Structure 1
Amino acid sequence: MEKIKKRIFFRSDPTETVKLRKRKSVLYSKRDAHLGSGEGLFGASIYLVLFTVAVRVVNCFLVQTSFVPDEYWQSLEVAHRMVFNYGYLTWEWTEGLRGYSYPLFFATIYKILHILKKDTVQLLIWVPRLAQSLLSALADVRLYCLVNTLENAETAKWVYFCQLCSWFTWYCCTRTLTNSMETILTVFALYYYPFHGTHKKSSSKYLMWIALAFIIRPTAVTVWLPLLFLNFSKESEKINFVIHHCVPVGFKILGISLIIDRVFFGKWVLVQLNFLQFNVLQNLGTFYGSHAWHWYFTQGFPVILGTHLPFFIHGCFLTPKRYHVLLIAIFWTILIHSLLSHKEFRFIYPVLPLCMVFCGHSLANLKKWKKAAAAFLLVSNLLLALYSGLIHQRGTLDVMKPIQELCLNESTLKETEPSVLFLMPCHSTPFYSHTHCPVKMRFLECPPDLTGNKSYIDEADVFFMAPLNWLNRELNQTLLPSHLIFFSVLEEEIVPFLAGNNYVKTTDLFHTHFPEGRVGSHIYIYERKSK
């Protein structure tokens, strides 16, 4: 019995406990000291910060392709309407599924440009993306600082390298997507996360970043559930943690979001609840496509990791135990998203910086093949990044330039009243944020039916079932637009309408080497000529 008592008493060695506490204290002091040190404003060498910003600015200008409609329709288009009082809002805004907090960021930029009388269309397009690039660069630096604090400069260097040369990060981080901001805020929160146990100073900080990510995109909380659970389980004063940290942060951030939405919606709307109800509880996202349950495991995750995949797998066996919670968060996020029918690559983008921690550990532990592995990663990702950023799916952005030219001559705009009809899958192109003039434009709409009508077919589907019939029925001599824009795959079907109404092809733009379904390899602009 005496032996058992001694074993229990000495199970936790007081000396080791003191050492552990000192270790934690040093780590947290080291991290917090970054903020006030002479190493730069963001906890790293000023040269590292400037270099990272420069890389992301170059990154921004080398991404001239479109990815998904949300990078315009859930940010820039809304911001343009908020500031300039004209534009188009999708059904998600009329139904209160999206909040104004994220568009307000870009609306502020637009308003400043407008006040300075610098609101040219090119600045309206590029300044928001440059702002996104700057935030992405700060997230890259934060990731480096986190690993430098927890490990050492060598490991941090390789994690930073993996982050910068990730092709999917290059492809997404400078886009005005909610997923891009969600990923940035996730890294900011991760920097303050108490990996070595509880730490009161950092708790409110990382919770604040999580709350901001949740406001912008409610599914952002998914990746944080395992980390929140671990932090909560280690808290000795759990009630105090909830009352003095979680509740105040939640009320402040959610309160600000509610007020912003109250101002712009004109009524009280809890958009986060509506978003979760539509996408999770009702699973109505399937209206925009569905995939097999295993898609993220077999395609989504391997694709966004790209050639980093073998290094990620290798790193999973090398990282210390404290990083296992990140591994759990990665696969938990993928698993939860796999339960939803509608799947996209960008939905799991926020776990990519977490994956870079494991990839960096892999490279740091390689000996003979370290330089060869780094060269392989750099070249393979650079090729993917340049192709996806400069070539693949660029037509839907390039097509906005001829429309901008319609706005240059105001007298012509008033006399001829040009109008544009996009005969493309809905939201294929940006809209007034990329023309910045009230030229008449129309596209085929595709809002989902929220009434449960199983026979409902949206306008875009009705058109593509019988394009020629739709044109003859919907358009007549008084309604004919001056310009028609469509993918090359549609041309053959509507030739009789084009010829019969004096439409002539004026522009042929390359879009993709991989046409699929309703999306063609080129985009054509037809202009109606007078007889």
Structure 2
Amino acid sequence: MSGSYRRRKAPGSASLLKWLSTSSSPSSSSPPSVSSVPSSPSSLRPQPPPPPRRPSPPPTRRPAPPPPSSPSTTPRFSYLSHIFLYLVAFRLLNALILRTFFQPDEFFQSLEPAWQAAFGEDRGAWITWEWRHQLRSSIHPLLFAALYSVTDFSARLVHFSPAIRADLLIAVPKVAQAIISATGDLYTWKLAQSVYGRRSPDAWATLALTVLSPWQWFCSTRTLSNCLETTITIVALSLWPWEWSYLPSSQAKSRRTSRTASKPTERDSNIDGAFIFRLRQCLLLAAVACILRPTNVLIWISIGSVAWLQSTWRERKILCREVILCGVSVLTLSSTLDRLFYGFWTFPPFRFLYFNIAQSLAVFYGKNDWHYYISQGYPLLLTTALPFTVVGIYRVLARSVSHGVNSQRSSVRTQLAAVCLIMPVALSLISHKEVRFIYPLLPLLHILTAPTLVDFFLPAVSSPSRAYMPRRLSLIFLLLVNITIALYTTVYHASGAIGVLSYLRNQQQVHALASPGAAQQGITAGFLMPCHSTPWRSHLVHPNIHAWALSCEPPVDMSEKQKAVYVDEADQFYNNPSQFLRGNMRGGLWHVPRKPTYSSSKNLQVNPQAYQQSRPHEWPDYLIFFSPLEPTLRSLLRSSSYGECWRTWNTAWHDDSRRRGDIIVWCLDPTEQAAWRSVTQKRHVETRDRQFDRIMQTFKKEASGKQRISPWGRWMSSLRDGTRSFTWAWPWQSQKRTWLGIQLPAWKKSSWKLPVSWTWPSLPKLPKLPKLPNMSKKKTKSSSRDLWS
């Protein structure tokens, strides 16, 4: 420090004392050495005597200051709690306005087995083949089963009506998933803080990306196992000991010899009880995520291998010990829950790998191209953030290749980027691909995208310069696109699949109020749709609603020849609807009932589960199908009592042509058909009246001269009123011709006539031809030509 001050201008006497007081260390009580004092002529002048010191007052005893952790921990905890409450409120709004259909697994892999576990096997839950063959872990559905049981018990205790009870049972899974999603958002932000810094704008940009992501708004509050897997994965990654994955260069050189590798290092001394507890939490959550979705193991293999290579021997021993303890604990808990759920001992991860890899049953649900996750997966996950993500991953990998990993934060970013590339490559080897399989990577992608987004938009937001106006407009445009996509996919697209079940619940309640006998009888419904096109008992709720739908069971335990010719029930119907209805409906097309079942005094003798599984199917009170099937059914059932009694808009486009258009409900009750016809007619009349009112208002505006002028009309009127006098004229009216502002003389037609002395030579007269039929047309044309000449 003294050398630097020698190169500067020597301070004065007053500044010298100040420099001495600031340069001395607070931990050292000895005065600074003489050599450290800068020598200058000003410092050698005689100084005035110091003023007499006043006696210092006696020291007062002050209370001891609080520990250093209390003023920082309490506001930090309150700060995080406020952020978490805001996120919970945001996701609750997200979950409660969600009214569209995305994937059948949202209901059939979580809520349907949960409904059966909570209310029993005779309540009509749809149990797919995966649960009958023990391919899924029971951890996820048992969570919702507990919520169903508590909600139903509370509703019966308070004596809620069946309608309110049904609404509560539908809303409870959404509320639980909203809290899970908010937890994932919070820990995404916390992991970004540990990577970029607590007050870094990159961390806030990560939170903004998470909140404004259309995919998060569309998918995070759904009851898919992938959503729970994503939250558990990001929480576990925020607890992972990232310092084990980074080894400074000095320690790397010392570990090249076996003698120094066995010695305890400074990093080994930092391992205490709190660190071990944090590591155990991380490994427990990682094990649960792998039990839910076995493909999640790809993330932990990628990160764990780096930690194994960069850690010391003592850290490797601790890691192996905790992995074994946590893995065995989670496997024991999962096996116990599966034993209680299935009724016998089983191991779902092994069954999952056996059926999907050994028997290749996943191929039955579709094949995709090898580049699916690049061409469709990442674009759907990231939408408008995709270009910034590509740049962010490229920067991280290029910096790690050129400059190496020179800090712990750069090591974390490099590992996250590697995971985002390794997992899609590994999953591309499987024929069946879906976007939700790589959904756990979305928080990591947001963390990697944040720096690029900040570099591009932060100057435009913080600076008032007009040079950044294109970036501001781009930011506004991207926000509007995200909001539009989020609202369309969660409110409008494929909303009929949820609405039709609300209609059936309302019809059940209406008939139950109309006659007490109908409440015990219930209504029946049949879904002539591709399999799993709507939710099931989790949205039908009422056990008195008996329903069946077309199934699509895969060819389990069949030979290759049998698999080659196997066609499921839904495909059989769509291949030949007439043949299917004749052979798979009770009575065929000749014995269709005339009246609904709830109008008769005879009750059904089967429970909802038996009614659903019975073959052949019974003709139901309500027949539900998509609008492309309407002409076919209208032709086949034209002599029956079925008629349209409800219709709702579903979607404007769909990748499956069978699911496009409206969802239509036919019923056997003539009263409901008449009521629907009156409602439809009333809507047509109201639409026609509105169109007529608009036309009349347009005529009134034109008559009163108050017609709204378009921008083009205003521009034309300004031309007419400007210095250039512009007037309209019909094409046949004579106009003044100008050239460069000079008026040209107008030529008259008479001036072009030939002189009188000039005559054309007369032609010899030809003999008169006989009149032909088409001569009248020629005469008419010639007469009209003479008229306009």
Q: CA deviation at 1:472?
A: 2.1
**Corresponding residue to 2:202 among 155, 158, 161:** 155
Residue type of the partner of 2:548?
A: R
Q: CA deviation at 1:45?
A: 2.7
**Corresponding residue to 1:217 among 289, 293, 300:** 293
Q: CA deviation at 1:525?
A: 0.4
> In the aligned structure 2, how far is the partner of 1:377 from the partner of 1:245?
45
Q: Residues 51-108 of structure 1, C-alpha deviation per residue, up to 9 Å, x if partnerless? A: 1112111111232101000000011111111111122211111111112110011011
> In the aligned structure 2, how far is the partner of 1:400 from the partner of 1:425?
16
Q: CA deviation at 1:519?
A: 0.8
Q: What residue is the counterpart of 2:583 in the other structure?
A: 473
1:518 is paired with a residue whose SS is helix
Q: CA deviation at 1:243?
A: 4.1
Q: What residue is the counterpart of 1:93 in the other structure?
A: 131
Q: What residue is the counterpart of 1:79 in the other structure?
A: 114
Q: What residue is the counterpart of 1:205 in the other structure?
A: 281
> Is residue 100–residue 260 contact of structure 1 (8 Å, CA) maintained in 2?
yes
**Corresponding residue to 2:459 among 368, 389, 408:** 368
Q: Please give the residue correspondences for 1:371-390 in structure 2 after superposition, counting only pairs within 5 Å.
A: 372=472, 374-390=475-491
Q: What residue is the counterpart of 1:21 in the other structure?
A: none
Q: What residue is the counterpart of 1:447 in the other structure?
A: 553
Q: What residue is the counterpart of 1:37 in the other structure?
A: 73
Q: CA deviation at 1:209?
A: 1.2
> In the aligned structure 2, how far is the partner of 1:509 from the partner of 1:232?
57
**Corresponding residue to 2:212 among 119, 140, 165:** 165
Residue type of the partner of 1:375?
A: I
2:431 is paired with a residue whose SS is coil
Q: What residue is the counterpart of 1:48 in the other structure?
A: 83
1:420 is paired with a residue whose SS is strand
> Is residue 161–residue 360 contact of structure 1 (8 Å, CA) maintained in 2?
no
> In the aligned structure 1, how far is the partner of 2:190 from the partner of 2:339?
38
> In the aligned structure 1, how far is the partner of 2:486 from the partner of 2:670?
45
Which structure ranks higher in relative contact order (CA pairs < 8 Å, sequence separation ≥ 6)? 1
Q: CA deviation at 1:239?
A: 5.3
Bigger shift: 134-143 or 473-482? 473-482
Residue type of the partner of 2:647?
A: D
Q: What residue is the counterpart of 2:303 in the other structure?
A: 227
Residue type of the partner of 2:667?
A: E
Q: CA deviation at 1:415?
A: 6.8
Q: CA deviation at 1:374?
A: 4.5
Cα 1:108–1:326 change in 2 (3 A) is: same
**Corresponding residue to 1:64 among 84, 89, 99:** 99
Does 2:558 correspond to 1:523?
no
Cα 1:466–1:77 change in 2 (3 A) is: same
Q: CA deviation at 1:403?
A: 1.2
Q: CA deviation at 1:432?
A: 1.0
Q: Residues 437-478 of structure 1, C-alpha deviation per residue, up to 9 Å, x if partnerless? A: 121110101110122322211111111111122112222237
Cα 1:37–1:107 change in 2 (3 A) is: farther
Q: Residues 337-379 of structure 1, C-alpha deviation per residue, up to 9 Å, x if partnerless? A: 1111111111111111100001112123334345736434422
Q: CA deviation at 1:382?
A: 1.1
Q: What residue is the counterpart of 2:574 in the other structure?
A: 464
Q: What residue is the counterpart of 2:178 in the other structure?
A: 133
Q: Please give the residue correspondences for 1:346-425 in structure 2 after superposition, counting only pairs within 5 Å.
A: 346-366=436-456, 367-369=458-460, 372=472, 374-408=475-509, 409-410=511-512, 411=516, 413-414=518-519, 417-425=522-530
> In the aligned structure 2, how far is the partner of 1:317 from the partner of 1:293?
22
Q: CA deviation at 1:413?
A: 3.3
2:651 is paired with a residue whose SS is coil
Unaligned runs of 5+ in 1: 1-32
2:173 is paired with a residue whose SS is helix
Does 2:604 correspond to 1:513?
no
Bigger shift: 404-413 or 445-454? 404-413
**Corresponding residue to 2:147 among 96, 109, 127:** 109
> In the aligned structure 1, how far is the partner of 2:155 from the partner of 2:383?
43
> Is residue 385–residue 449 contact of structure 2 (8 Å, CA) maintained in 1?
yes
Q: What residue is the counterpart of 1:13 in the other structure?
A: none
**Corresponding residue to 2:339 among 259, 262, 276:** 262
> In the aligned structure 1, how far is the partner of 2:168 from the partner of 2:179?
16
Q: CA deviation at 1:40?
A: 6.2
Residue type of the partner of 1:484?
A: L
Q: CA deviation at 1:503?
A: 0.4
Q: Residues 469-524 of structure 1, C-alpha deviation per residue, up to 9 Å, x if partnerless? A: 21122222373211110010111112133322210111111111104321121100
Q: CA deviation at 1:283?
A: 3.0
1:441 is paired with a residue whose SS is strand
Cα 1:468–1:360 change in 2 (3 A) is: same
> In the aligned structure 1, how far is the partner of 2:132 from the partner of 2:147?
24
Cα 1:326–1:282 change in 2 (3 A) is: farther
Q: CA deviation at 1:428?
A: 0.8
Q: CA deviation at 1:417?
A: 4.4
Q: Residues 216-247 of structure 1, C-alpha deviation per residue, up to 9 Å, x if partnerless? A: 12112222221121122223236523542101
> In the aligned structure 2, how far is the partner of 1:413 from the partner of 1:431?
21
> In the aligned structure 1, how far is the partner of 2:417 from the partner of 2:582?
57
> In the aligned structure 2, how far is the partner of 1:155 from the partner of 1:308?
14
Residue type of the partner of 2:83?
A: L
Q: What residue is the counterpart of 2:429 in the other structure?
A: 339
> In the aligned structure 1, how far is the partner of 2:653 from the partner of 2:506?
29
> In the aligned structure 2, how far is the partner of 1:322 from the partner of 1:196?
9
Q: CA deviation at 1:148?
A: 1.5
> In the aligned structure 2, how far is the partner of 1:117 from the partner of 1:414?
19
Residue type of the partner of 1:192?
A: L
> In the aligned structure 2, how far is the partner of 1:54 from the partner of 1:529?
44
Does 2:354 correspond to 1:277?
yes
> Is residue 80–residue 110 contact of structure 1 (8 Å, CA) maintained in 2?
yes
Bigger shift: 50-59 or 314-323? 314-323
Cα 1:267–1:487 change in 2 (3 A) is: same
Q: What residue is the counterpart of 2:237 in the other structure?
A: 190
Residue type of the partner of 2:143?
A: F
> Is residue 121–residue 433 contact of structure 1 (8 Å, CA) maintained in 2?
no
Name the count of aligned residue pairs: 497
Cα 1:283–1:301 change in 2 (3 A) is: farther
Moved over 4 A (4+): 414-417
Q: CA deviation at 1:317?
A: 4.3
> In the aligned structure 1, how far is the partner of 2:475 from the partner of 2:239?
29
TM-score scaled by length of structure 2: 0.60
Cα 1:315–1:506 change in 2 (3 A) is: same
Cα 1:330–1:241 change in 2 (3 A) is: same
> In the aligned structure 2, how far is the partner of 1:281 from the partner of 1:326?
31
Larger radius of gyration: 2
Residue type of the partner of 2:118?
A: V
> Is residue 487–residue 519 contact of structure 1 (8 Å, CA) maintained in 2?
yes
Bigger shift: 387-396 or 446-455? 446-455
